[in-house]
Amino acid sequence: MRQTERPTPRPTRQRVRSIVPETLEAIAAERVQCAELSLRAFAQRLYDKGIYRAAGHRVAEAGWLSRQLAKAREAGLLQGPEL
């Protein structure tokens, strides 16, 4: 009886979804200008102004944008939880 060797499984790579610091700064600066917008409307504004477009040239998702704004807050680019 012949035994076949199983190939070793490929290591899984987590997708890195980070943006360059300059883009994060631009997003934070724009958020200060229009803090009253909802995240969806803000994502559309970023798209329209050419500040940020998601992969495939789409509008960024609100959840992703929320995480980026939290990173900007941690970096001191935004003040207060409402921004």
Note the pTM of the prediction, 2 decimals: 0.75
Neighbours of 54 (CB within 10 A): 15
Domain positions in the chain:
21-74
Residue with tokens 């040239």: 57
Per-residue pLDDT of the chain (83 residues; tens, 9 = 90+): 566 677 777 766 665 567 899 999 999 999 999 999 999 999 999 999 999 999 889 999 999 999 999 999 999 999 876 65
Asked if residues 27 and 53 have their Cβ atoms less than 8 Å apart, the reply is: no
As a whole number of angstroms, the distance between CA 43 and CA 31 comes to 10
SS3 38: coil
The CA-based dihedral angle spanning residues 48, 16, 68, 54, taken in that order and rounded to the nearest 10 degrees: 10
